[in-house]
C-alpha cells in the first residue's frame, strides 16, 4: 500500500523538505505524504530511533528520506544542522516546523522551568529553524515554511504555556511572511484542533479521561485525522498556495468557533473523515472508547 494523497504524485519531485518532529504523529504522516509526492524528506527530531524508524518506513514505501538528530532549542545546533543539510542535499525548498510538546497543568502549578521549556520547544525552536533556513538558503532561492499551531483562539486553559507559545508562533508567522516576502518566501501556519494522533497517548489522569468525549464538542461531531492536517500542510507548501502567505489555516471542525450561548445540536452521524495514511493507527485512548 502507499499513501493515498489527493495531490499529484510528482508535486514535489526534486525538492528537499525538512520536517521537524518527523518521528511521530502529524510529523510522521506529513513526511510520508511529502515523500509519496516526490520530495526528499529530511526528518529532524531529538530521538534517533524514531527518526530511523520513519525513514525506514518511507524507504519501504519507495520514497526518499534522511534523518538528523537535533535539539532545535539549541541555536548553534540548528545553525550546524541547516548548514549540513545544505552541504549534503542542496537547496531547501520547504520547512515544516512541526516539532513541539507540552503537558497539561493549570497556570498556577506551572513553574518557570516548565513554562520556559514549552516556549523554547514550541516557539523558540521553530523561530531558530525558520531563521536559519531563511538566512542560509531561502533568502537566495525562495521557499515555503509552514508552522504548527493549535486551537488557542479562546485561550488554552490547562495548557497555558503551550497557548502562549502557539499564539507567539501565529504572530511570528505573520511577521516572517511580511519581512521575507521580498525573497519569494511564503510563511503560513496550520492550527489543528483535536486530532487522532499518537500524542493523545502521552496524557494521563483527568485529561486522558476527557479525550474520548472531545468529539461531542466539535460541530462536525468527530475528531480529525492526521491526513487532514497533512493535506493542509501540503497545500500550503504547494504552488497552488503561491499567493497565500501570512495565513493560519484552522483544522478543527469548527470547534474553535461559537459560544455556550449557542449550544451544539445533539449528535448526528459525524461528517466523513479523510484518511489517506496507510500506516496510520488509532491512539490507544480512543480504542478504549470502543
Interatomic CA distance for residues 163 and 155, integer angstroms = 6
Interatomic CA distance for residues 16 and 41, integer angstroms = 6
For residue 86, is pLDDT > 60? yes
pLDDT band at 288 (very low <50, low <70, confident <90, very high): low
Interatomic CA distance for residues 217 and 46, integer angstroms = 34
Q: What integer is the mean pLDDT of 213-223? A: 88
Which domains occur in the chain, in start order?
Answer: 16-270+277-286 (3.40.50.720)
DSSP string covering 249-280 = EEESTTTTS--TTSPPPPP-SPPPP----TT-
Sort 20 into a burial class: Cβ within 10 Å, 0-12 / 13-18 / 19+: buried
pLDDT band at 182 (very low <50, low <70, confident <90, very high): very high
For residue 232, is pLDDT > 60? yes
pLDDT band at 264 (very low <50, low <70, confident <90, very high): confident
Rg (CA), the chain: 18
Interatomic CA distance for residues 18 and 246, integer angstroms = 20
For residue 282, is pLDDT > 90? no
Identify which has the larger pLDDT, 281 or 182: 182
265: cell is: 445540536
pLDDT band at 123 (very low <50, low <70, confident <90, very high): very high
Q: What integer is the mean pLDDT of 100-106? A: 90
Q: Is 56 helix (H, G, I), strand (E, B) or coil?
A: helix
For residue 289, is pLDDT > 70? no
Q: What integer is the mean pLDDT of 135-160? A: 96
For residue 178, is pLDDT > 70? yes
Q: What integer is the mean pLDDT of 222-244? A: 97
For residue 145, is pLDDT > 70? yes
Which range, of 2-16, 143-157, 203-217, averages the lowest pLDDT? Answer: 203-217
For residue 153, is pLDDT > 60? yes
For residue 290, is pLDDT > 50? no
Q: What integer is the mean pLDDT of 180-194? A: 97
Amino acid at each position: 500500500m502507499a499513501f493515498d494523497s489527493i495531490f499529484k504524485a510528482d508535486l514535489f519531485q526534486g525538492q528537499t523538505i525538512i520536517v521537524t518532529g518527523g518521528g511521530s504523529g502529524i510529523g510522521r504522516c506529513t513526511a510520508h505524504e511529502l515523500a509519496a509526492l516526490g520530495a526528499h524528506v529530511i526528518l529532524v527530531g531529538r530521538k534517533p530511533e524514531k527518526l530511523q524508524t520513519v525513514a525506514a518506513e518511507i524507504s519501504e514505501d519507495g520514497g526518499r528520506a534522511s534523518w538528523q538528530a537535533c535539539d532545535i532549542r539549541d541555536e548553534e545546533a540548528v545553525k550546524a544542522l541547516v548548514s549540513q543539510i545544505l552541504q549534503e542535499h542542496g537547496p531547501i525548498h520547504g520547512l515544516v516546523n512541526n516539532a513541539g510538546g507540552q503537558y497539561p497543568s493549570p497556570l498556577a502549578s506551572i513553574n518557570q522551568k516548565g513554562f520556559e521549556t514549552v516556549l523554547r520547544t514550541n516557539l523558540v525552536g521553530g523561530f531558530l529553524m525558520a531563521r536559519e533556513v531563511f538566512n542560509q538558503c531561502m533568502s537566495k532561492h525562495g521557499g515555503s515554511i509552514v508552522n504548527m499551531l493549535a486551537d488557542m483562539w479562546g485561550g488554552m486553559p490547562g495548557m497555558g504555556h503551550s497557548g502562549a507559545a502557539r499564539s507567539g508562533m501565529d504572530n511570528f508567522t505573520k511577521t516572517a511572511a511580511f519581512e521575507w516576502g521580498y525573497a519569494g518566501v511564503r510563511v503560513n501556519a496550520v492550527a489543528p484542533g483535536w486530532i487522532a494522533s499518537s500524542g493523545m497517548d502521552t496524557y494521563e489522569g483527568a485529561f486522558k479521561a476527557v479525550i474520548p468525549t472531545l468529539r461531542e464538542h466539535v460541530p462536525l461531531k468527530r475528531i480529525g485525522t492526521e491526513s487532514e492536517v497533512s493535506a493542509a500542510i501540503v497545500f500550503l507548501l504547494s504552488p497552488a498556495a503561491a499567493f497565500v502567505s501570512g495565513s493560519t489555516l484552522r483544522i478543527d471542525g469548527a470547534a474553535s468557533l461559537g459560544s455556550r450561548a449557542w449550544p451544539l445540536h445533539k449528535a448526528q452521524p459525524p461528517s466523513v473523515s479523510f484518511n489517506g495514511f496507510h500506516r496510520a493507527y488509532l491512539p490507544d485512548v480512543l480504542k478504549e472508547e470502543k
